[in-house]
Amino acid sequence: MNELPILPLDADTLAPLNGKKLLITGGARGLGEGFVRAAVARGAQVTIADIASQAGEALAAELSGAGHAVYFVRVDLSDPASVDAAGNVAAERMGGIDGLVNNGAITNSGGKLAAELSIETWDAVMNVNVRGTWLMTMAALPFLRASGQGRVVNIASDTALWGAPRLLAYTASKGAVMAMTRSLARELGPDGITVNAIAPGLVEVEATAYVPVERHRHYLEGRALPRAQVPDDVIGPVLFLLSDASRFVTGQVLPVNGGFVMP
């Protein structure tokens, strides 16, 4: 099968975010870094929240030096006190929070059968990916309410849509994030806050370098669009859900995987 070329993303086609104050977890590297760079390029203020302090501080310094309003706060999504503090610090530095991207997550269960997982691994993945997403949303909630135009975008995974094997804890956690997205959309809708999720396929980033070649081939051969998935493929949909263009879209899970899954 011939692989399609990857064309560069035209920045002019991305939704404008002028003046938006965004908190992006897991924003120091990989897919999250792509969200940060694209958001500031479209006029947003951004606070990067990540456990990787060195990478996060370096990215914030680079973008601030280029004239963007970018801040960094360290957060451990498995620690409720750290999550709460990060939300408050972000709001203080930016003067509020208009949008939250819950991108921070861990995998930890890759390559192991269900019977091989430890309780410690299961709990670690759930504490970061599920509880951390809930707690970060709650930490940002007062500021999202005050904004009058609150946007929450949860980064899920299409693994929960097709049932990826040898990845149980991660897959289950992302299924929980999808369910949480729908419940929160109903609860927060009266406050004018939208809550949506993006379910990417296998994106070519540092964090997926561990994935076996066979799994990469499985995705490539199963996509309607036969090429590798790159961060730019996910950035556009995320920026759309953060923008005013999506103001009447809520409670939705959008698979962004080149047609590998078509629910």
Q: Known catalytic residues?
A: 170
Token pair recorded at residue 125 = 């993945």
Report the Cα–Cα distance between both ends of the chain, in Å, rounded.
24
Q: Is 221 exposed, middle or buried (CB count within 10 Å of its CB: 0-12, 13-18, 19+)?
A: exposed
**Angle between helix 132-147 and helix 168-188 axes, rounded to 10 deg:** 20
Whole-number Å distance between alpha carbons of 45 and 78 = 25
Whole-number Å distance between alpha carbons of 119 and 64 = 42
Whole-number Å distance between alpha carbons of 75 and 43 = 24
Residue 72: closest CA among 38, 29, 107, 16: 29
Amino acid code (one letter) for 54: Q
How many CB atoms lie under 10 A from the CB of residue 116? 11
